[in-house]
Structure 1
Amino acid sequence: MNLTTFNQLDADAAQAAIAHCVAISNWQQALVAQRPFASLTALMQCAEQLALSWQQPELNQALAAHPRIGERAAGADKEAALSRREQGAMQQADSDVQQAMRAGNQAYEARFGRVFLIRAKGRSGEQMLAELQRRLENSPEQEVQEALGQLREITLLRLQESLQ
């Protein structure tokens, strides 16, 4: 879909068109309400500004739709397909990296009470594992901020790819 089409959709259709970017309905609604956008740059700036207000409740809401790194997302919806594609490097990593990621995911969930979130696109399995291991040393407050930063990156990448 291009920006012109997005600008012209009714509100429900526009929200549905960006729902795969992040499972935070308030963000989707707020972005749709700001239309029309004069350029993709203006849309992305607005999307980023809106995402900067996210806190732990929004993180928890979004994580409900995210599979663990290294696990294949189930389903035929657009979000599951994107997740499978974004995490392709972990699926192709050697068995030692995959096993270490499974163990790291368990340690992360035990420590922070939620799934580990990272922008997988453009990262190798080894890089994702190294980031997980590094982030296990974060305080809970630091980790919320890192996870929110990763969520923003994922969201904005998905939005940009959807509207080009």
Structure 2
Amino acid sequence: MIDTRTPEARERLSAALGIARWVAEVADGGPYATVDELVAAGEQAAAGLTDAELDEAVGHHPRIGERSEGDGDGSRLSAGEQAGLGPREEGVDAALARGNEVYEGRFGRVFLIRAAGRSRQEVLDELQRRLKNDDEAEAAEAKEQLRQIAALRIAALFEEA
């Protein structure tokens, strides 16, 4: 049984997705019998993310290719996700840095992507593809990426508990 109503569980949920409404909805829906049930509840609660919630979540994510500041669960998870991109590649990393600048100038927020399971080149390809999106399509893609990130982080944070 996973009791998500404790302060410790809420802190973990906040590290999975730093959106107050989402944390409250998932936490208050507990306890959950399994991690899979908890992940499903998190995905369901993330299905209706608003643009304001997207903006709220952005502050908890470093740029792709940059280290997260802090030492909490969210920073630790972010560092692990980005480390999974593989070794640094000068040309790809330079292109990611340039792409991040263009993206931020165009959309007004950092580029959000589920890094887990992707290479640096795959992230760069996605960044370049998504730069062609209009504002509405890109907001929808960013919200979907947050949902995927949250699902992976919930599993990691609550399976180790």
- For the aligned pair, the TM-score class normalised by the smaller chain equals over 0.9
Q: Is the 8 A contact 1:73 1:84 kept in 2?
A: yes
Q: Is the 8 A contact 2:85 2:117 kept in 1?
A: no
Moved over 4 A (4+): none
SS of residue matched to 1:83: helix
Greater displacement, 32-41 / 54-63:
32-41
The Cα shift of 1:19 comes to 1.7
> Aligned match of 2:16 in 14, 21, 26?
21
The Cα shift of 1:90 comes to 4.4
Structure 2 residue identity aligned to 1:119: R
Q: Is the 8 A contact 1:89 1:125 kept in 2?
A: no
Residue 143 to residue 10, structure 1, CA distance change in 2 (3 Å): closer
Structure 2 residue runs of 5 or longer lacking an equivalent are none
2:117 aligns to what? 122
Q: Provide the aligned C-alpha RMSD in A.
A: 1.5
Inter-partner Cα distance in structure 2 for 1:17 and 1:80: 12
Aligned length: 159
SS of residue matched to 2:26: helix
Residue 15 to residue 89, structure 1, CA distance change in 2 (3 Å): closer
Inter-partner Cα distance in structure 1 for 2:27 and 2:44: 14
The Cα shift of 1:40 comes to 2.6
The Cα shift of 1:126 comes to 0.3
2:89 aligns to what? 94
> Aligned match of 2:75 in 72, 75, 80?
80
Inter-partner Cα distance in structure 2 for 1:90 and 1:14: 28
Inter-partner Cα distance in structure 2 for 1:38 and 1:74: 33
